[in-house]
């Protein structure tokens, strides 16, 4: 959904106030070779729930799979052809079979008529239960977020019910995590296990630097390198829905006169600033960035997320069953489909799922197809293929100004598409581009690239005292020279700046290949009176050599607050 899964994400963003001491409890994992057909609750009725013969009656509205310009019950349609390009994959019968996906969310209704056949027996968890937490993950309230996410990934195909998922034969497990009393052991547990893919359609707010637990970062590193028998699991994460937000997101008790706009940056969620997740932005049905999608140099790629399902199409997917729960209910007003129309008489489906919460499971579904086609791919192989095959969406997008015109003369607020020194296209709105299922699966099937072993190396500027010019595009620059280069997987910086209002500041990094990346935009409105050892990441340098001079530039975009660059480090992940 377009909200960051309501207020249930606050604890995940502000972990220091939510976690208890680390527990050493370990959970026993289900046998990955067990019955992956789940509960075998397949509906064998040759007709769908509306009595209409056919394989999947709502598939015609799945514009993210095949965009013909359909409206998906909204007032307007999208642009034909702006979809994930999945026709060849489906014709070849690649359907995600044998791939296990964990949906860590507010719960999943595992008995849903269009999901039950794909639920992996004994694998779901409810973190309201005592360790090892195995149990029914069905949410207790009427929010169907995790159920909607699950349907986008793997609603069963050709069963005369609803629509179908991107990977309709993948196996699912629900992890009822959001809303539970999160401890360190639970946080680690929901990133561990036999799963090939973990889908995270949630996140923190980016009106501040949102810290992540070091234990979570360690688990993401471990999982991306060591799970799946050493091949590494895929953690797929929503970039956020904060192109424009209000500071009261982070400070719910803020006085009304103190509330202001901020302009989101996926980099400010600390876990996004490590190379262990695939961070996903959202596209609308016209093939451009959705108005809400949080940009940032930490994005890997984008996928359809849709709009609201009122004026323009959202995503049609599974909802909590019945007309008293979920998005679709008797009181819904978004469109006729939502309140028990003849297309949806039992309110078991919704046409209003949207946000990077939707783009993320679409990407998880494509990764499931890739792993079904080639189970020997490592986590880094999957990321390489996604970057190599992504479509250059919105290809003429040039420099973009500040959302409320707080621009700075002589400075580009947001660059257009760049082509880096290794030939990869990149944009802070889109990452490497829109996910392309046919191209990704084809490359996966014939994959023969050896990425070597990823290593990490850090270079430090030492102590600095460089004044940041106030309200000036000139900024202050400092360089670090790297002698022993490697091929870049990701570039991370650790930054310290003394400044009385960090919302003024922009951060740019230029590589030895002269590729420039904006890691923070000026005049973002984020809160804070200094930056101390904060982590930012850019994927824009992927594939380049790290050898040579790297130049950091700090720009102050507004008058009245002055600052000093005191230290920065550059960390190269590469091979």
105 carries an active-site annotation: yes
Closest listed residue to residue 353, CA positions, set 178, 159, 155:
155
For the stretch 93-102, what's the b/e string if a residue is b when 16 or more beta carbons lie within 10 angstroms of its beta carbon? Answer: ebbbbebbbb
What is the number of other CB atoms lying within 10 angstroms of the CB of residue 569?
18
H or E segment at 380? helix 379-389
Whether 498 sits among the annotated catalytic residues: the reply is no
Closest CA to 384 of 546, 232, 536, 218: 232
Cα separation values, 180 from 18, 139, 326, 415, Å: 11, 11, 19, 40
The answer to whether 407 touches 524, Cβ cutoff 8 Å, is no
Compute the distance between CA of residue 367 and CA of residue 199 in angstroms, rounded to an integer. 11
The catalytic position among 105, 189, 249, 556 is 105
Residues linked to residue 505 through DSSP beta bridges, in sequence order:
556
Distance, CA of 72 to CA of 66 (rounded, Å): 12
Query: Cα(79)–Cα(67) distance, rounded to whole angstroms?
Result: 7
| 502: nearest Cα among 449, 565, 456, 410 | 565
The phi-psi region of residue 443 (left if phi > 0; otherwise alpha if psi is between -120 and 50; otherwise beta) is alpha
Given 61, 145, 272, 427, which residue is catalytic? 145
516 forms beta bridges with 510
d(CA 417, CA 127): 42
Q: What SS3 class is residue 2?
A: coil
Which candidate in 171, 185, 289, 357 is catalytic?
357
Asked whether the beta carbons of 274 and 219 are under 8 A apart, the reply is no
Q: Is 186 helix (H, G, I), strand (E, B) or coil?
A: helix
145 annotated active-site? yes
Query: Which sequence positions are flagged as catalytic?
Result: 105, 145, 357
């Amino acid at each position: 959904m377009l909200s960051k899964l309501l207020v249930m994400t606050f604890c995940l963003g502000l972990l220091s106030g939510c976690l208890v001491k680390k527990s050493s409890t370990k959970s026993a994992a289900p046998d990955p070779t067990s019955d992956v057909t789940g509960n075998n609750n397949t509906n064998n009725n040759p007709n769908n729930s509306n009595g209409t013969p056919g394989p999947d009656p709502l598939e015609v509205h799945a514009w993210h799979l095949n965009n013909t310009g359909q409206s998906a019950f909204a007032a307007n349609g999208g642009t034909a052809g702006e979809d994930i390009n999945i026709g060849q994959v489906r014709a070849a019968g690649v359907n995600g079979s044998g791939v296990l996906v964990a949906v860590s969310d507010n719960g999943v209704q595992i008995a849903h008529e269009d999901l039950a056949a794909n639920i992996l027996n004994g694998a779901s968890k409810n973190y309201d239960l005592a360790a090892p937490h195995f149990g029914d993950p069905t949410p207790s309230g009427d929010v169907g977020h995790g159920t909607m996410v699950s349907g986008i990934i793997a609603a069963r195909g050709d069963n005369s019910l609803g629509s179908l998922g991107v990977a309709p034969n993948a196996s699912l497990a629900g992890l009822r995590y959001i809303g539970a009393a999160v401890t360190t052991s639970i946080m680690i547990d929901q990133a561990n296990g036999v799963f090939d893919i973990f889908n995270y359609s949630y996140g923190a707010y980016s009106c501040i630097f949102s810290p992540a637990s070091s234990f979570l970062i360690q688990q993401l590193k471990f999982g991306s390198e060591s799970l799946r028998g050493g091949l590494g699991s895929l953690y797929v994460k929503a970039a956020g829905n904060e192109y424009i937000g209000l500071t009261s997101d982070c400070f719910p008790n803020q006085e009304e006169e103190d509330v202001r706009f901020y302009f989101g940056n996926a980099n400010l969620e600390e876990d996004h600033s490590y190379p262990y997740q695939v961070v996903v932005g959202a596209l609308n049905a016209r093939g451009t960035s959705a108005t809400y999608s949080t940009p940032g140099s930490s994005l890997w790629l984008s996928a359809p997320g849709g709009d609201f399902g009122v004026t323009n199409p959202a995503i049609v997917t599974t909802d909590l069953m019945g007309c008293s729960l979920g998005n679709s209910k008797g009181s819904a007003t978004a469109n006729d489909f939502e309140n028990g129309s003849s297309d949806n008489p039992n309110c078991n489906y919704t046409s209003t799922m949207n946000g990077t919460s939707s783009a993320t499971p679409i990407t998880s579904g494509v990764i499931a197809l890739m792993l079904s086609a080639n189970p020997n791919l490592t986590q880094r192989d999957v990321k390489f293929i996604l970057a190599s095959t992504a479509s250059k969406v919105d290809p003429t997008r040039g420099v973009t100004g500040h959302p409320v015109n707080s621009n700075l003369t002589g400075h580009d607020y947001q660059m257009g598409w760049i082509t880096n020194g290794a030939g990869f296209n990149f944009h802070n709105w889109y990452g490497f581009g829109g996910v392309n299922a046919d191209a990704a699966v084809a490359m996966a099937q014939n994959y023969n690239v050896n990425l070597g072993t990823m290593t990490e190396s850090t270079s430090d500027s030492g102590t600095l005292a460089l004044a940041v010019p106030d309200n000036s595009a000139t900024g202050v620059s400092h360089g670090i020279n790297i002698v022993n280069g490697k091929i870049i997987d990701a570039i991370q910086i650790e930054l310290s700046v003394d400044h009385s209002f960090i919302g003024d500041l922009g951060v740019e990094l230029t590589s030895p290949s002269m590729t420039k990346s904006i890691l923070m935009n000026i005049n973002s409105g984020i809160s804070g009176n200094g930056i101390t050892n904060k982590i930012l990441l850019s994927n824009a340098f992927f594939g380049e050599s790290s050898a040579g001079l790297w130049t950091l530039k700090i720009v102050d975009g507004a008058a009245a607050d002055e600052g000093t660059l005191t230290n920065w480090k550059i960390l190269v992940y590469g091979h």
